[in-house]
Amino acid sequence: MDCVIFTIRFKLTSKMKYLALFLISLFPFLGIAQTQDITTELYDTYDSYKEESLNKRRIKHSDLAPLLRKIKTNSRFKVSQVGTSIEGKSLSLISLGKGQTSVFLWSQMHGDEPTATQAIFDILNFFDSSDFKQEKKAILDNLTIHFLPMLNPDGAELFQRRNLLGIDINRDALRLQSPEGQTLKRVRDSLDADFGFNLHDQSTYYNANRTEKPATISYLAPAYNYEKDINEVRGNAMKIIVFMNNILQQYAPGQVGRYNDDFEPRAFGDNIQKWGTSTILIESGGYPNDTEKQEIRKLNYVSILSAIYTIAKGNYKGIPISEYEKIPENDRKLFDLKLIGAQYKLLGNDYKIDLGINQLEVDYEGHNSFWYSSRVVDQGDLSTYYGYETLDASDFKIKPAKLYPKVLYTLEDAKDLNFSEVLRKGYGYIRMVKIPSTILNSPLPFHIIGKAYEIPELRLQPGSNPTFFLEKEGVLAYAIINGFLIDLKQGEPTIPNAMIYK
Ligand SMILES: [Zn+2]
Protein backbone atom coordinates (compact mmCIF):
# COMPACT_ATOMS: atom_id res chain seq x y z
CA MET A 1 0.00 0.00 0.00
CA ASP A 2 2.79 2.43 0.86
CA CYS A 3 4.29 1.99 -2.62
CA VAL A 4 1.32 3.74 -4.23
CA ILE A 5 2.82 7.05 -3.15
CA PHE A 6 5.71 6.55 -5.60
CA THR A 7 3.35 6.52 -8.57
CA ILE A 8 1.84 9.93 -7.83
CA ARG A 9 2.61 11.96 -10.91
CA PHE A 10 2.83 15.53 -9.72
CA LYS A 11 6.18 17.11 -9.24
CA LEU A 12 7.69 17.00 -5.78
CA THR A 13 10.33 19.45 -4.69
CA SER A 14 13.40 17.66 -3.33
CA LYS A 15 12.52 18.80 0.20
CA MET A 16 9.05 17.37 -0.19
CA LYS A 17 10.55 14.13 -1.49
CA TYR A 18 12.69 13.74 1.62
CA LEU A 19 9.70 14.48 3.83
CA ALA A 20 7.61 11.91 1.96
CA LEU A 21 10.38 9.30 2.22
CA PHE A 22 10.75 10.03 5.91
CA LEU A 23 7.01 9.55 6.48
CA ILE A 24 7.06 6.30 4.50
CA SER A 25 9.96 5.04 6.55
CA LEU A 26 7.95 5.70 9.72
CA PHE A 27 4.98 3.79 8.40
CA PRO A 28 5.78 0.33 9.77
CA PHE A 29 6.63 1.70 13.17
CA LEU A 30 3.46 3.83 13.30
CA GLY A 31 1.55 0.57 13.13
CA ILE A 32 3.61 -0.85 15.97
CA ALA A 33 3.16 2.32 18.04
CA GLN A 34 -0.61 2.17 17.67
CA THR A 35 -0.75 -1.42 18.76
CA GLN A 36 1.62 -0.80 21.63
CA ASP A 37 -1.14 1.08 23.47
CA ILE A 38 -3.27 -2.03 23.56
CA THR A 39 -0.21 -4.09 24.53
CA THR A 40 0.45 -2.07 27.68
CA GLU A 41 -3.21 -2.28 28.62
CA LEU A 42 -3.28 -6.02 27.98
CA TYR A 43 -0.24 -6.47 30.20
CA ASP A 44 -1.62 -4.31 33.02
CA THR A 45 -5.07 -5.90 33.07
CA TYR A 46 -3.93 -9.50 32.58
CA ASP A 47 -5.03 -10.75 36.00
CA SER A 48 -8.69 -10.15 35.18
CA TYR A 49 -8.51 -12.69 32.34
CA LYS A 50 -6.10 -15.26 33.70
CA GLU A 51 -7.74 -18.69 33.86
CA GLU A 52 -6.82 -19.49 37.45
CA SER A 53 -7.78 -23.16 37.25
CA LEU A 54 -4.75 -23.76 34.99
CA ASN A 55 -1.99 -22.36 37.17
CA LYS A 56 0.48 -25.27 37.06
CA ARG A 57 2.35 -26.77 34.12
CA ARG A 58 1.04 -30.30 34.64
CA ILE A 59 -2.42 -29.71 33.23
CA LYS A 60 -4.55 -32.51 31.83
CA HIS A 61 -7.39 -32.99 29.40
CA SER A 62 -9.70 -33.31 32.42
CA ASP A 63 -8.67 -29.78 33.51
CA LEU A 64 -9.79 -28.39 30.16
CA ALA A 65 -13.09 -30.33 30.08
CA PRO A 66 -15.08 -28.05 32.47
CA LEU A 67 -13.76 -24.95 30.68
CA LEU A 68 -14.79 -26.33 27.30
CA ARG A 69 -18.23 -27.30 28.64
CA LYS A 70 -18.74 -23.69 29.74
CA ILE A 71 -17.50 -22.28 26.43
CA LYS A 72 -19.91 -24.58 24.54
CA THR A 73 -22.89 -22.87 26.18
CA ASN A 74 -21.54 -19.44 25.24
CA SER A 75 -22.95 -18.04 22.02
CA ARG A 76 -19.77 -16.01 21.37
CA PHE A 77 -17.91 -19.21 20.56
CA LYS A 78 -18.42 -22.17 18.31
CA VAL A 79 -16.93 -25.40 19.68
CA SER A 80 -16.62 -28.54 17.60
CA GLN A 81 -14.91 -31.85 18.21
CA VAL A 82 -12.45 -32.27 15.36
CA GLY A 83 -10.77 -35.51 16.38
CA THR A 84 -9.67 -37.81 19.16
CA SER A 85 -6.33 -38.86 20.57
CA ILE A 86 -5.13 -42.47 20.49
CA GLU A 87 -6.65 -42.95 23.94
CA GLY A 88 -9.93 -41.45 22.76
CA LYS A 89 -9.67 -38.02 24.33
CA SER A 90 -11.53 -35.35 22.40
CA LEU A 91 -9.69 -32.71 20.37
CA SER A 92 -11.74 -29.51 20.21
CA LEU A 93 -11.67 -26.53 17.92
CA ILE A 94 -12.96 -23.26 19.36
CA SER A 95 -13.82 -20.60 16.79
CA LEU A 96 -14.95 -16.99 16.88
CA GLY A 97 -15.17 -13.95 14.64
CA LYS A 98 -16.66 -13.40 11.20
CA GLY A 99 -13.79 -11.89 9.26
CA GLN A 100 -12.22 -12.85 5.95
CA THR A 101 -8.76 -13.57 7.30
CA SER A 102 -8.42 -16.87 9.08
CA VAL A 103 -6.03 -17.39 12.00
CA PHE A 104 -5.40 -20.87 13.41
CA LEU A 105 -3.60 -21.50 16.73
CA TRP A 106 -2.74 -24.97 18.03
CA SER A 107 -0.86 -25.83 21.21
CA GLN A 108 0.79 -28.66 23.10
CA MET A 109 1.41 -31.16 20.31
CA HIS A 110 4.16 -32.08 22.77
CA GLY A 111 2.42 -33.19 25.96
CA ASP A 112 4.86 -31.54 28.36
CA GLU A 113 4.62 -28.10 26.70
CA PRO A 114 1.52 -26.54 28.25
CA THR A 115 2.31 -22.81 28.53
CA ALA A 116 0.43 -21.69 25.43
CA THR A 117 -2.56 -23.93 26.26
CA GLN A 118 -2.95 -21.89 29.43
CA ALA A 119 -2.54 -18.65 27.48
CA ILE A 120 -5.22 -19.75 24.98
CA PHE A 121 -7.76 -20.06 27.79
CA ASP A 122 -6.70 -16.61 29.07
CA ILE A 123 -7.28 -15.27 25.55
CA LEU A 124 -10.72 -16.93 25.44
CA ASN A 125 -11.57 -15.23 28.76
CA PHE A 126 -10.50 -11.95 27.19
CA PHE A 127 -12.87 -12.45 24.27
CA ASP A 128 -15.66 -13.39 26.68
CA SER A 129 -15.34 -10.13 28.65
CA SER A 130 -17.07 -6.85 27.90
CA ASP A 131 -13.84 -4.80 27.93
CA PHE A 132 -11.68 -3.66 25.00
CA LYS A 133 -14.88 -3.30 22.93
CA GLN A 134 -13.37 -1.33 20.07
CA GLU A 135 -10.33 -3.54 19.69
CA LYS A 136 -12.37 -6.71 19.85
CA LYS A 137 -14.76 -5.39 17.22
CA ALA A 138 -11.80 -4.68 14.94
CA ILE A 139 -10.49 -8.21 15.53
CA LEU A 140 -13.75 -10.09 15.13
CA ASP A 141 -14.93 -8.10 12.09
CA ASN A 142 -11.71 -8.80 10.24
CA LEU A 143 -10.65 -12.23 11.44
CA THR A 144 -12.02 -15.67 12.11
CA ILE A 145 -9.89 -17.19 14.86
CA HIS A 146 -9.65 -20.92 15.58
CA PHE A 147 -7.98 -22.45 18.63
CA LEU A 148 -7.00 -26.11 18.98
CA PRO A 149 -5.57 -26.34 22.51
CA MET A 150 -3.72 -29.44 23.76
CA LEU A 151 -3.31 -31.40 20.56
CA ASN A 152 -1.58 -34.22 22.48
CA PRO A 153 -3.78 -34.91 25.55
CA ASP A 154 -2.37 -38.45 26.00
CA GLY A 155 1.13 -37.00 26.28
CA ALA A 156 -0.13 -34.31 28.67
CA GLU A 157 -1.58 -37.04 30.92
CA LEU A 158 1.95 -38.45 31.32
CA PHE A 159 3.63 -35.03 31.05
CA GLN A 160 5.76 -36.33 28.19
CA ARG A 161 6.69 -34.99 24.79
CA ARG A 162 5.51 -37.91 22.69
CA ASN A 163 2.02 -39.30 22.15
CA LEU A 164 0.82 -42.73 23.27
CA LEU A 165 2.26 -44.35 20.16
CA GLY A 166 5.63 -43.09 21.36
CA ILE A 167 6.14 -40.89 18.33
CA ASP A 168 6.84 -37.19 18.07
CA ILE A 169 3.73 -35.75 16.42
CA ASN A 170 5.94 -33.00 15.04
CA ARG A 171 7.71 -35.54 12.85
CA ASP A 172 4.46 -37.03 11.54
CA ALA A 173 3.35 -34.32 9.12
CA LEU A 174 4.06 -36.49 6.07
CA ARG A 175 3.37 -40.04 7.24
CA LEU A 176 0.32 -39.00 9.32
CA GLN A 177 0.17 -42.12 11.47
CA SER A 178 -1.05 -40.38 14.61
CA PRO A 179 -4.73 -39.42 14.88
CA GLU A 180 -3.52 -36.16 16.46
CA GLY A 181 -1.37 -35.34 13.42
CA GLN A 182 -4.19 -36.34 11.07
CA THR A 183 -6.50 -33.98 12.93
CA LEU A 184 -4.05 -31.08 12.69
CA LYS A 185 -3.63 -31.63 8.95
CA ARG A 186 -7.37 -31.99 8.34
CA VAL A 187 -8.24 -28.85 10.31
CA ARG A 188 -5.48 -26.82 8.64
CA ASP A 189 -6.67 -27.90 5.21
CA SER A 190 -10.33 -27.24 5.93
CA LEU A 191 -9.59 -23.74 7.24
CA ASP A 192 -6.88 -22.99 4.69
CA ALA A 193 -5.76 -20.53 7.35
CA ASP A 194 -3.89 -17.36 6.41
CA PHE A 195 -1.92 -17.37 9.67
CA GLY A 196 -0.90 -20.28 11.90
CA PHE A 197 0.52 -20.14 15.42
CA ASN A 198 2.40 -23.32 16.28
CA LEU A 199 2.71 -23.14 20.06
CA HIS A 200 5.39 -25.00 22.03
CA ASP A 201 7.66 -24.90 25.07
CA GLN A 202 11.42 -25.24 24.86
CA SER A 203 14.01 -26.16 27.45
CA THR A 204 14.65 -23.49 30.08
CA TYR A 205 18.38 -23.93 29.35
CA TYR A 206 18.20 -22.01 26.07
CA ASN A 207 19.73 -18.53 26.08
CA ALA A 208 19.94 -15.70 23.59
CA ASN A 209 23.20 -16.30 21.73
CA ARG A 210 26.32 -15.17 23.61
CA THR A 211 24.36 -13.61 26.45
CA GLU A 212 23.42 -14.82 29.92
CA LYS A 213 19.78 -13.98 29.18
CA PRO A 214 17.43 -16.93 28.97
CA ALA A 215 15.50 -17.28 25.73
CA THR A 216 12.19 -16.65 27.47
CA ILE A 217 10.48 -16.78 24.09
CA SER A 218 11.98 -18.10 20.87
CA TYR A 219 10.52 -17.64 17.44
CA LEU A 220 10.79 -19.25 14.07
CA ALA A 221 9.22 -18.63 10.72
CA PRO A 222 9.91 -22.20 9.54
CA ALA A 223 11.47 -22.74 6.14
CA TYR A 224 9.38 -24.52 3.51
CA ASN A 225 12.34 -25.80 1.48
CA TYR A 226 16.02 -26.62 1.91
CA GLU A 227 16.96 -23.37 0.18
CA LYS A 228 15.19 -21.44 2.97
CA ASP A 229 13.50 -19.20 0.41
CA ILE A 230 11.33 -16.37 1.60
CA ASN A 231 8.03 -16.09 -0.25
CA GLU A 232 5.11 -13.89 0.78
CA VAL A 233 3.69 -16.58 3.09
CA ARG A 234 6.91 -16.98 5.06
CA GLY A 235 7.67 -13.27 4.83
CA ASN A 236 4.40 -12.43 6.57
CA ALA A 237 5.26 -14.85 9.38
CA MET A 238 8.62 -13.07 9.75
CA LYS A 239 6.89 -9.69 9.95
CA ILE A 240 4.57 -10.88 12.72
CA ILE A 241 7.59 -12.25 14.58
CA VAL A 242 9.41 -8.91 14.32
CA PHE A 243 6.26 -7.26 15.64
CA MET A 244 6.00 -9.66 18.60
CA ASN A 245 9.71 -9.36 19.36
CA ASN A 246 9.34 -5.58 19.64
CA ILE A 247 6.59 -6.10 22.21
CA LEU A 248 8.51 -8.64 24.26
CA GLN A 249 11.60 -6.45 24.42
CA GLN A 250 9.61 -4.13 26.72
CA TYR A 251 8.91 -6.86 29.26
CA ALA A 252 11.83 -9.23 28.85
CA PRO A 253 14.64 -7.19 27.27
CA GLY A 254 17.23 -9.33 25.50
CA GLN A 255 15.30 -12.50 26.29
CA VAL A 256 14.10 -13.42 22.82
CA GLY A 257 15.83 -15.95 20.61
CA ARG A 258 15.46 -17.04 17.01
CA TYR A 259 15.39 -20.73 16.17
CA ASN A 260 17.58 -22.28 13.54
CA ASP A 261 15.58 -22.37 10.30
CA ASP A 262 17.02 -25.54 8.78
CA PHE A 263 14.25 -27.20 6.81
CA GLU A 264 12.76 -30.27 8.51
CA PRO A 265 10.62 -32.03 5.89
CA ARG A 266 8.71 -34.10 8.50
CA ALA A 267 7.70 -31.25 10.81
CA PHE A 268 4.29 -29.61 10.86
CA GLY A 269 5.52 -26.02 11.04
CA ASP A 270 7.62 -26.41 7.90
CA ASN A 271 4.82 -28.15 6.01
CA ILE A 272 2.05 -25.80 7.10
CA GLN A 273 4.23 -22.94 5.84
CA LYS A 274 4.59 -24.89 2.59
CA TRP A 275 0.85 -25.48 2.39
CA GLY A 276 0.30 -21.71 2.33
CA THR A 277 -0.37 -20.70 5.94
CA SER A 278 2.02 -18.06 7.33
CA THR A 279 3.35 -20.08 10.24
CA ILE A 280 4.77 -18.62 13.41
CA LEU A 281 6.47 -21.01 15.81
CA ILE A 282 6.51 -19.76 19.40
CA GLU A 283 8.60 -21.57 22.00
CA SER A 284 8.17 -20.67 25.66
CA GLY A 285 11.48 -21.12 27.45
CA GLY A 286 12.68 -20.01 30.88
CA TYR A 287 12.37 -16.93 33.03
CA PRO A 288 14.25 -16.46 36.32
CA ASN A 289 12.32 -17.66 39.39
CA ASP A 290 9.33 -18.70 37.31
CA THR A 291 9.28 -22.48 37.74
CA GLU A 292 5.62 -22.82 36.73
CA LYS A 293 6.18 -20.42 33.81
CA GLN A 294 3.29 -18.15 34.73
CA GLU A 295 5.13 -14.96 33.74
CA ILE A 296 5.95 -16.55 30.38
CA ARG A 297 2.29 -17.52 30.01
CA LYS A 298 1.40 -13.86 30.52
CA LEU A 299 3.91 -12.82 27.86
CA ASN A 300 2.29 -15.37 25.51
CA TYR A 301 -1.10 -13.84 26.21
CA VAL A 302 0.05 -10.28 25.63
CA SER A 303 2.14 -10.92 22.53
CA ILE A 304 -0.26 -13.34 20.80
CA LEU A 305 -3.27 -11.07 21.38
CA SER A 306 -1.29 -8.07 20.15
CA ALA A 307 -0.28 -10.07 17.07
CA ILE A 308 -3.91 -11.00 16.42
CA TYR A 309 -4.83 -7.33 16.68
CA THR A 310 -2.11 -6.27 14.28
CA ILE A 311 -3.16 -8.96 11.79
CA ALA A 312 -6.73 -7.63 12.04
CA LYS A 313 -5.55 -4.08 11.44
CA GLY A 314 -3.21 -5.14 8.65
CA ASN A 315 -0.51 -2.82 9.94
CA TYR A 316 2.19 -5.49 10.09
CA LYS A 317 2.56 -5.35 6.32
CA GLY A 318 5.15 -2.58 6.22
CA ILE A 319 7.44 -4.15 8.80
CA PRO A 320 10.83 -4.83 7.17
CA ILE A 321 11.69 -8.54 6.95
CA SER A 322 15.36 -7.64 7.46
CA GLU A 323 14.56 -7.00 11.15
CA TYR A 324 13.85 -10.73 11.56
CA GLU A 325 17.49 -11.68 11.03
CA LYS A 326 18.54 -9.24 13.74
CA ILE A 327 16.87 -11.25 16.50
CA PRO A 328 19.73 -13.15 18.21
CA GLU A 329 19.90 -16.87 17.56
CA ASN A 330 19.01 -19.40 20.22
CA ASP A 331 21.78 -21.12 22.06
CA ARG A 332 21.73 -23.73 24.80
CA LYS A 333 24.30 -22.57 27.30
CA LEU A 334 22.43 -22.07 30.57
CA PHE A 335 22.60 -24.03 33.81
CA ASP A 336 20.38 -23.65 36.83
CA LEU A 337 23.51 -23.12 38.91
CA LYS A 338 27.01 -22.32 37.73
CA LEU A 339 29.99 -22.37 40.09
CA ILE A 340 33.14 -20.72 38.81
CA GLY A 341 36.67 -21.83 39.52
CA ALA A 342 36.26 -23.90 42.69
CA GLN A 343 39.33 -25.73 44.03
CA TYR A 344 38.85 -29.45 43.81
CA LYS A 345 41.27 -31.96 45.32
CA LEU A 346 41.62 -35.30 43.58
CA LEU A 347 44.18 -37.98 44.61
CA GLY A 348 46.23 -35.38 46.45
CA ASN A 349 46.36 -32.78 43.67
CA ASP A 350 44.46 -29.50 43.39
CA TYR A 351 42.48 -28.53 40.30
CA LYS A 352 40.36 -25.54 39.41
CA ILE A 353 36.99 -26.41 37.91
CA ASP A 354 33.73 -24.74 36.96
CA LEU A 355 30.59 -26.76 37.61
CA GLY A 356 27.35 -26.64 35.64
CA ILE A 357 24.45 -27.95 37.71
CA ASN A 358 20.85 -28.56 36.65
CA GLN A 359 17.95 -29.09 39.01
CA LEU A 360 16.11 -31.84 37.17
CA GLU A 361 12.45 -32.66 37.74
CA VAL A 362 11.13 -36.13 38.55
CA ASP A 363 7.37 -36.62 38.38
CA TYR A 364 5.35 -38.10 41.20
CA GLU A 365 2.95 -40.87 40.25
CA GLY A 366 0.03 -39.41 38.34
CA HIS A 367 2.25 -36.68 36.84
CA ASN A 368 0.53 -33.89 38.77
CA SER A 369 3.61 -32.63 40.59
CA PHE A 370 7.34 -33.24 40.83
CA TRP A 371 10.45 -33.28 42.97
CA TYR A 372 14.09 -32.58 42.16
CA SER A 373 16.95 -34.96 41.50
CA SER A 374 19.78 -32.65 40.48
CA ARG A 375 22.86 -33.47 38.45
CA VAL A 376 26.25 -32.08 37.58
CA VAL A 377 25.79 -31.78 33.82
CA ASP A 378 29.20 -30.43 32.90
CA GLN A 379 32.48 -29.51 34.55
CA GLY A 380 35.80 -27.98 33.52
CA ASP A 381 36.22 -24.67 31.73
CA LEU A 382 32.62 -23.47 31.40
CA SER A 383 33.52 -19.86 30.67
CA THR A 384 31.26 -19.83 27.59
CA TYR A 385 28.25 -20.90 29.69
CA TYR A 386 25.91 -19.01 32.00
CA GLY A 387 23.73 -19.72 35.03
CA TYR A 388 20.33 -18.65 36.28
CA GLU A 389 22.32 -18.46 39.51
CA THR A 390 26.10 -18.00 39.43
CA LEU A 391 28.66 -18.06 42.22
CA ASP A 392 32.29 -17.09 41.85
CA ALA A 393 33.81 -19.93 43.86
CA SER A 394 37.46 -19.17 43.02
CA ASP A 395 38.35 -18.53 46.67
CA PHE A 396 36.66 -21.70 47.85
CA LYS A 397 37.67 -25.31 48.33
CA ILE A 398 35.22 -28.10 47.60
CA LYS A 399 34.72 -30.24 50.71
CA PRO A 400 32.78 -33.51 50.87
CA ALA A 401 29.56 -33.60 52.89
CA LYS A 402 29.86 -35.68 56.07
CA LEU A 403 27.46 -38.03 57.83
CA TYR A 404 25.70 -36.61 60.88
CA PRO A 405 27.11 -38.60 63.82
CA LYS A 406 23.78 -39.40 65.45
CA VAL A 407 21.36 -41.93 63.89
CA LEU A 408 17.73 -40.78 63.84
CA TYR A 409 14.93 -43.25 64.33
CA THR A 410 12.20 -41.57 62.27
CA LEU A 411 11.57 -38.37 60.34
CA GLU A 412 9.86 -36.98 63.44
CA ASP A 413 13.21 -36.93 65.25
CA ALA A 414 14.56 -34.46 62.67
CA LYS A 415 12.21 -31.81 64.05
CA ASP A 416 14.55 -31.19 66.97
CA LEU A 417 17.57 -30.50 64.76
CA ASN A 418 18.91 -27.04 64.10
CA PHE A 419 19.28 -27.34 60.31
CA SER A 420 21.61 -24.33 59.98
CA GLU A 421 23.92 -25.71 62.62
CA VAL A 422 23.96 -29.18 61.08
CA LEU A 423 24.95 -27.73 57.72
CA ARG A 424 27.51 -25.28 59.13
CA LYS A 425 29.32 -28.26 60.63
CA GLY A 426 29.51 -29.89 57.20
CA TYR A 427 26.90 -32.60 57.60
CA GLY A 428 25.00 -33.33 54.39
CA TYR A 429 23.70 -36.82 55.19
CA ILE A 430 21.61 -38.17 58.06
CA ARG A 431 21.09 -41.85 58.75
CA MET A 432 17.53 -42.88 59.59
CA VAL A 433 16.32 -46.24 60.89
CA LYS A 434 12.71 -45.97 59.75
CA ILE A 435 12.46 -44.02 56.52
CA PRO A 436 8.72 -43.55 55.86
CA SER A 437 7.70 -45.62 52.83
CA THR A 438 5.41 -42.78 51.73
CA ILE A 439 8.22 -40.38 50.85
CA LEU A 440 10.40 -40.54 47.75
CA ASN A 441 12.73 -37.71 48.71
CA SER A 442 14.00 -35.89 51.75
CA PRO A 443 11.94 -32.90 52.95
CA LEU A 444 15.04 -31.80 54.93
CA PRO A 445 17.94 -29.71 53.61
CA PHE A 446 20.18 -32.80 53.69
CA HIS A 447 20.00 -36.33 52.32
CA ILE A 448 18.46 -39.15 54.31
CA ILE A 449 20.28 -42.48 54.11
CA GLY A 450 19.15 -45.96 55.13
CA LYS A 451 20.64 -48.21 57.79
CA ALA A 452 23.27 -49.86 55.61
CA TYR A 453 23.95 -47.19 52.99
CA GLU A 454 27.60 -46.27 52.54
CA ILE A 455 28.27 -42.68 51.44
CA PRO A 456 30.53 -42.84 48.39
CA GLU A 457 33.72 -40.84 48.26
CA LEU A 458 33.17 -37.43 46.63
CA ARG A 459 34.01 -37.82 42.94
CA LEU A 460 32.51 -35.04 40.85
CA GLN A 461 31.45 -36.32 37.44
CA PRO A 462 28.78 -35.33 34.96
CA GLY A 463 25.77 -37.29 36.16
CA SER A 464 26.59 -37.20 39.86
CA ASN A 465 24.32 -35.56 42.43
CA PRO A 466 25.89 -32.22 43.40
CA THR A 467 26.36 -32.43 47.16
CA PHE A 468 29.37 -30.77 48.84
CA PHE A 469 30.47 -27.71 50.77
CA LEU A 470 32.52 -24.67 49.84
CA GLU A 471 35.15 -23.71 52.39
CA LYS A 472 37.17 -20.51 52.69
CA GLU A 473 39.93 -20.06 55.28
CA GLY A 474 38.76 -23.05 57.25
CA VAL A 475 35.11 -21.93 57.43
CA LEU A 476 32.24 -23.49 55.48
CA ALA A 477 30.48 -20.67 53.64
CA TYR A 478 28.13 -22.51 51.29
CA ALA A 479 26.45 -25.88 51.07
CA ILE A 480 25.38 -27.38 47.78
CA ILE A 481 22.76 -30.01 48.56
CA ASN A 482 20.98 -31.78 45.71
CA GLY A 483 22.20 -29.01 43.42
CA PHE A 484 20.72 -26.17 45.48
CA LEU A 485 23.04 -23.46 46.78
CA ILE A 486 22.65 -22.62 50.46
CA ASP A 487 24.40 -19.55 51.88
CA LEU A 488 25.34 -20.65 55.40
CA LYS A 489 25.48 -17.07 56.65
CA GLN A 490 21.76 -16.70 55.94
CA GLY A 491 19.03 -17.87 58.28
CA GLU A 492 16.97 -21.05 58.03
CA PRO A 493 18.12 -23.11 55.00
CA THR A 494 15.29 -24.04 52.66
CA ILE A 495 15.57 -26.14 49.54
CA PRO A 496 12.70 -27.88 47.70
CA ASN A 497 14.02 -31.34 48.64
CA ALA A 498 17.10 -33.48 49.08
CA MET A 499 17.48 -37.18 48.21
CA ILE A 500 16.86 -40.48 49.97
CA TYR A 501 19.48 -43.23 49.54
CA LYS A 502 18.35 -46.54 51.00
ZN1 LIG B 1 7.45 -28.74 21.17
Span from the CA of 140 to the centroid of ligand 1 (angstroms): 29
Span from the CA of 91 to the centroid of ligand 1 (angstroms): 18
Contact 179, 85 (CB under 8 A): yes
Please spell the DSSP secondary structure of 127-169, one letter per residue: HHSSSSHHHHHHHHHHEEEEEE--S-HHHHHTT-SS-TTS--G
**What pLDDT is stored for residue 22 in this prediction?**
45
C-alpha to C-alpha distance for 6 and 501, rounded to whole angstroms: 76
Span from the CA of 345 to the centroid of ligand 1 (angstroms): 42
Span from the CA of 268 to the centroid of ligand 1 (angstroms): 11
Amino acid at 157: E
Span from the CA of 202 to the centroid of ligand 1 (angstroms): 6
Span from the CA of 119 to the centroid of ligand 1 (angstroms): 16
Span from the CA of 371 to the centroid of ligand 1 (angstroms): 22
The tens digit of pLDDT for each residue in 103-125 reads 999 999 999 999 999 999 999 99
Q: Which of 21-35, 99-113, 288-302, 457-471 has the lowest mean pLDDT?
A: 21-35
Span from the CA of 200 to the centroid of ligand 1 (angstroms): 4
Span from the CA of 109 to the centroid of ligand 1 (angstroms): 7
pTM: predicted TM-score of the whole model, two decimal places: 0.92
Please spell the DSSP secondary structure of 361-410, one letter per residue: EEEPTTSS-EEE--EEEEEE--TT-EEEEEEE-TT-EEEEPEEPSSPBSS
Question: How much is the mean pLDDT over the chain?
Answer: 93
Phi-psi region of 448 (alpha: psi -120 to 50; beta: other; left: phi over 0): beta
Residue 273 CB partners (closer than 8 Å, separation 6+): 221, 222, 223, 224, 233, 234, 237, 279
Span from the CA of 59 to the centroid of ligand 1 (angstroms): 16
Residues in the chain: 502
Instruction: Provide the pLDDT confidence category of residue 33 given band limits of 50, 70 and 90.
Output: low
Span from the CA of 168 to the centroid of ligand 1 (angstroms): 9
CA distances from 265 to 111, 260, 268 (A): 22, 14, 8
Span from the CA of 217 to the centroid of ligand 1 (angstroms): 13
Span from the CA of 497 to the centroid of ligand 1 (angstroms): 28
Span from the CA of 326 to the centroid of ligand 1 (angstroms): 24
**What pLDDT is stored for residue 37 in this prediction?**
74
Span from the CA of 337 to the centroid of ligand 1 (angstroms): 25
Q: Which of 109, 110, 104 is nearest to 275 (CA)?
A: 104
Quick one: CA torsion of 436, 439, 443, 444, rounded to 10 degrees? 40
Percent of the chain with pLDDT over 90: 92
Contact 121, 59 (CB under 8 A): no
Span from the CA of 201 to the centroid of ligand 1 (angstroms): 5
The tens digit of pLDDT for each residue in 256-301 reads 999 999 999 999 999 999 999 999 999 999 999 999 999 999 999 9
Span from the CA of 264 to the centroid of ligand 1 (angstroms): 14
Span from the CA of 307 to the centroid of ligand 1 (angstroms): 21
Residues β-bridged to residue 451: none
Q: Using alpha carbons only, what angle is made at residue 26 by residues 25 and 32, rounded to the nearest 5 degrees?
A: 130
Whether residue 34 has pLDDT greater than 90? no
Average pLDDT on 211-221 reads 97
Residue 214 is classified by DSSP as: B
Span from the CA of 466 to the centroid of ligand 1 (angstroms): 29
Span from the CA of 58 to the centroid of ligand 1 (angstroms): 15
Whether residue 25 has pLDDT greater than 60? no
Span from the CA of 492 to the centroid of ligand 1 (angstroms): 39
